[in-house]
C-alpha cells in the first residue's frame, strides 16, 4: 500500500471514529420515546437525564418536561425515607419488632418481623391483600388496608427470602404516622419534599387537580382506577405519590450526593447498599439487583420502577441520573420502552 493510500485510510478511519464519537445514545433514547408517543402507543412521557456534567429534560406527546405524573412504586423509597428520618432522631429503630409500634401486629411469626424487614421486602407479608380489589371498589380508607395487613397470613418465614411487598411499606408508613403523630403526606411534605425543593411533589393530589396531571392509560369504566378521585387522593404510601421527572431526580440526588438535609449522610449511604443479608439484594426502599436498570449501569446502581409506567435510577460510579415517567403501565412498557431507554442512557 502506498504512503498516499495509508494517509487516506487513516483519515477515513479518523472521520469514522469522529462520527461514532459524536453519536449520542441519548438521541436514540429520545427517538424511541418520540416514536412511541407519535404513534399513540404512549400518550405522554417526560425524560430527565444528567450525565457527564450535562442535563437533559424534555416532554413528549401530551406532556411537558415538568408535567406531573402518578409515580406508583417510586413512592416506596420516599415512604422509607420518612422512616429513616425518624430513625436518625432516635424515634424508631430498624432493629425493633414491628409490634413495638403497632401493638396489634402480633401472633406467630409476626413477632419476629422487624422494621428492617418491612423496608427490605423480607417480612413475609404479601404485595397486596387478598381482598385488595374489594377494598378499592368500596373506596376503603387506608386504615382498612392497615387492619388487613396486620392480620393477613404470611407467605414465608420472615427474613428467609426477598419477596416484593407493598403491605410491608404500608405498615412502615403507619409506624411513621403513629410515632410522628402526623399524617404521612404532611410528614413527607415538611421533612422530605420541601428540604429538597420538590415543590410539585405530593403524596396524594396535594394542590393539583387530576386534570392537571398526566392520565394513566387504563380503562375508565370504574371509579377506583389509577385516574379516579379515590385512588389519586388516597395517598397510598406504596404507590400514591405525584411528581415531575426533574423533582424525582432531586430525590435521587439526596442519595447520590447526600448532604444531610433529609437524612444523615451515613443513613443515606446505608439505604443504597444491600440490607437483606440474603443473596437477593435490596436496600432500604431501593432496588439494587444488578441488571435491573440500564444494561451498562454499574453494580452500585439504585432506583425503582412504578407500575404506572415509570422508572428512576442513579449510578454512583458514573454519576448518571435517569428518570422516565410515562402513562403506559409498566407491564406493557417496561420491555419495549422503560428498559431500552435506560439501556441507551447508561451506554
Domain boundaries along the sequence of the chain: 24-346
> What whole-number distance in Å separates Cα of residue 48 and Cα of residue 94?
33
At residue 22 the predicted structure's pLDDT band, cuts being 50, 70 and 90, is: low
- pLDDT value at 111 more than 90: yes
Please state the rounded mean pLDDT for residues 213-231.
96
Per the listing, cell 449501569 goes with 297
pLDDT of residue 220: 86
Please state the rounded mean pLDDT for residues 152-162.
98
Architecture of the CATH domain 24-346: 3-Layer(aba) Sandwich (3.40)
Residue (of 176, 166, 174) closest to 104 by Cα position: 174
Asked if 35 contacts 213 with a C-beta cutoff of 8 angstroms, the reply is: no
Q: pTM of this prediction?
A: 0.93
Largest CA-CA distance found in the chain, in angstroms, rounded: 87
pLDDT of residue 20: 46
At residue 316 the predicted structure's pLDDT band, cuts being 50, 70 and 90, is: very high
Q: For the chain, what is the mean pLDDT? A: 94
Per the listing, cell 375508565 goes with 220
Write down how long the chain is.
Answer: 347
Please state the rounded mean pLDDT for residues 283-300.
97
Q: Where would I find the H helices in the chain?
A: 3-22, 25-38, 75-88, 115-119, 132-137, 142-151, 166-180, 184-188, 229-234, 245-256, 265-271, 330-333, 339-346
SS3 category, 10: helix
For the chain, the C-alpha Rg in angstroms (whole number) is 22
Asked if 33 contacts 271 with a C-beta cutoff of 8 angstroms, the reply is: no
Amino acid at each position: 500500500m502506498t504512503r498516499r493510500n495509508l494517509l487516506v485510510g487513516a483519515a477515513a478511519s479518523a472521520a469514522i471514529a469522529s462520527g461514532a464519537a459524536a453519536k449520542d445514545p441519548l438521541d436514540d433514547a429520545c427517538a424511541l420515546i418520540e416514536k412511541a408517543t407519535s404513534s399513540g402507543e404512549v400518550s405522554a412521557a417526560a425524560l430527565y437525564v444528567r450525565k457527564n456534567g450535562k442535563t437533559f429534560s424534555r416532554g413528549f406527546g401530551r406532556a411537558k418536561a415538568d408535567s406531573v405524573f402518578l409515580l406508583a412504586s417510586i413512592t416506596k423509597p420516599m415512604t422509607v425515607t420518612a422512616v429513616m428520618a425518624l430513625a436518625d432522631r432516635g424515634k424508631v429503630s430498624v432493629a425493633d419488632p414491628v409490634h413495638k409500634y403497632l401493638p396489634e401486629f402480633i401472633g406467630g411469626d409476626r413477632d419476629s418481623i422487624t422494621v428492617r424487614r418491612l423496608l427490605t421486602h423480607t417480612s413475609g407479608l404479601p404485595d397486596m391483600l387478598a381482598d385488595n380489589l374489594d377494598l378499592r371498589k368500596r373506596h376503603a380508607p387506608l386504615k382498612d388496608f392497615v387492619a388487613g395487613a396486620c392480620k393477613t397470613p404470611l407467605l414465608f418465614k420472615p427474613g428467609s427470602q426477598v419477596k416484593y411487598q407493598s403491605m410491608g411499606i404500608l405498615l412502615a408508613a403507619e409506624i411513621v404516622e403513629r410515632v410522628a403523630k402526623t399524617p404521612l403526606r404532611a410528614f413527607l411534605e415538611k421533612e422530605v419534599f420541601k428540604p429538597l425543593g420538590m415543590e410539585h411533589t405530593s403524596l396524594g393530589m396535594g394542590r393539583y387537580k387530576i386534570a392537571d396531571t398526566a392520565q394513566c392509560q387504563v380503562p375508565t369504566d370504574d371509579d377506583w382506577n389509577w385516574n379516579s378521585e379515590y385512588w389519586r387522593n388516597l395517598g397510598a404510601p406504596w404507590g400514591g405519590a405525584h411528581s415531575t421527572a426533574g423533582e424525582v431526580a432531586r430525590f435521587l440526588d439526596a442519595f447520590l450526593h447526600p448532604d444531610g438535609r433529609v437524612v444523615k449522610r451515613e443513613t443515606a449511604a446505608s439505604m443504597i447498599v444491600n440490607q437483606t443479608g440474603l443473596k437477593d439484594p435490596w436496600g432500604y426502599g431501593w432496588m439494587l439487583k444488578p441488571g435491573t436498570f440500564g444494561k451498562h449501569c454499574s453494580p452500585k446502581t439504585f432506583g425503582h420502577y412504578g407500575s404506572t409506567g415509570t422508572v428512576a435510577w442513579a449510578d454512583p460510579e458514573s454519576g448518571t441520573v435517569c428518570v422516565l415517567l410515562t402513562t403506559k403501565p409498566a407491564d406493557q412498557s417496561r420491555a419495549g420502552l422503560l428498559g431500552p431507554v435506560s439501556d441507551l442512557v447508561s451506554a
